[in-house]
């Protein structure tokens, strides 16, 4: 059995620079991982069956990004060798869904990376990232495993090394559907594209934040509360918000004062994904196939 993390991501800034003909939006964002997230345990089988436990409330197994990721690999394997392997996958779900923390994408990425190893498929990181983009715009960064400045729909990645502070992440009890925010007529979608250097000299913001606050007053209220303690922002299309602190204790102290009923956690920013830190610890049992470029 192989147990691996599927960490959360934060969008340290997020700007929407345009809408493409296919309806997707071009954006610029700085992705960083945190050392908190889901965990997946994989046991390979020879019978071709994929079994995921437990089921996620509201998500049919065949719609679960974990099963979708595994099926993509099975299809490739079938084409290559005519055979398919299976797996029992146990998911420990800690990340709220629809929170802008990328939990579904991270679960999918961990599945691609883990089954590539366990089924001995030998696919490169580039190939896994290309497969991943079909599952979600956020999957490639989790496959590549390094903090990155992202452009395009999130697939053009330039590795970056922002500070790695302690974060307090607060999750209002609501799911924000990414598609709903991107389809909202009031979304700001014409921000100028900047270079990473220009971003480093500009105050960071999230272009979805004003709209999500307007549609979900709970987010606005919690953000006003957190702003009393530290500069704070929303991640992705929300609903989670975060603030950075110089020490774990400082972040814990604010969490202890959080309004009743609000779920939150303290985590360390990581420029290397905890998924790859875990894989490195397993070396030499498991080796990563090197990548050749940084697009996707």
The binding site comprises 96-106
Contact between 104 and ligand ADP by CB under 6 A: the answer reads yes
Q: How far, in whole angstroms, is CA 25 from its chain's centroid?
A: 17
Active-site residue flag, 9: yes
Q: Which of ligand SUD, ligand ADP, none does residue 97 bind to, with CB < 5 to 8 Å depending on kind?
A: ligand ADP
DSSP 54: S
Query: Which of 41, 51, 59, 156: binder of ligand ADP (CB under 6 A)?
Result: 59
- In the bound state, the residue with its beta carbon closest to ligand SUD is 236
Contact between 175 and ligand ADP by CB under 6 A: the answer reads yes
Region for 142 from its dihedrals, namely left if φ exceeds 0, alpha if ψ lies in -120 to 50, beta otherwise? alpha
Query: Which of 7, 12, 25, 276: binder of ligand SUD (CB under 6 A)?
Result: 25
The nearest distance, CB 138 to ligand ADP, in angstroms, is 7
Name the CA radius of gyration of the chain, rounded: 19
- Pick the catalytic residue: 9, 107, 126, 207? 9
Q: Using CB under 6 A as the criterion, what x/- string covers residues 227-246 for binding ligand ADP?
A: ---------x----------
Active-site residue flag, 138: yes
Q: Is the peptide bond before 296 cis (omega within 30 degrees of 0)?
A: no
Q: Which of ligand ADP, ligand SUD, none does residue 182 bind to, with CB < 5 to 8 Å depending on kind?
A: ligand SUD
Query: Which of 27, 112, 222, 254: binder of ligand SUD (CB under 6 A)?
Result: 27
Which residues are annotated as part of the binding site for ATP?
96-106
Q: Which residues are catalytic?
A: 9, 138
């Amino acid at each position: 059995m192989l147990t691996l993390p599927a960490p959360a991501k934060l969008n340290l800034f997020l700007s929407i620079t345009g809408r493409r003909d296919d309806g997707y939006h071009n954006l610029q964002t700085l992705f960083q991982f945190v050392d908190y997230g889901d965990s997946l345990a994989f046991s390979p089988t020879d019978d071709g069956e994929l079994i995921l436990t437990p089921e996620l409330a509201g998500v049919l197994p065949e719609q679960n990004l974990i099963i979708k990721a595994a099926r993509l690999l099975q299809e490739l394997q079938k084409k290559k060798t005519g055979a398919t392997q299976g797996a029992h996958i146990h998911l420990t779900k800690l990340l709220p869904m629809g929170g802008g923390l990328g939990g579904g994408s991270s679960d999918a990425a961990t599945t691609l990376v883990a089954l590539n190893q366990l089924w001995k498929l030998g696919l490169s990181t580039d190939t896994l990232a290309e497969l991943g983009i079909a599952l979600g715009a956020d999957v490639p960064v989790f496959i590549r495993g390094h903090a990155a400045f992202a452009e395009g729909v999130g697939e053009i990645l330039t590795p970056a090394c922002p500070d790695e502070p302690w974060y307090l992440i607060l999750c209002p009890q609501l799911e924000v559907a990414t598609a709903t925010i991107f389809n909202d007529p009031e979304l700001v979608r014409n921000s100028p594209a900047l270079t990473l250097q220009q971003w480093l000299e500009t105050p960071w913001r999230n272009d979805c934040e004003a709209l999500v606050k307007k549609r979900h007053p709970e987010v606005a209220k919690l953000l006003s509360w957190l702003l009393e303690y530290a500069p704070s922002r929303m991640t992705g299309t929300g609903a989670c918000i975060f603030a950075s602190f110089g020490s774990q204790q400082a972040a814990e102290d604010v969490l202890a004062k959080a309004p009743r009923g609000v779920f939150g956690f303290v985590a360390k920013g990581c420029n290397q994904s905890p998924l790859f830190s875990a894989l490195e610890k397993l070396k030499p049992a498991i080796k990563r196939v090197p990548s050749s470029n940084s697009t996707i």
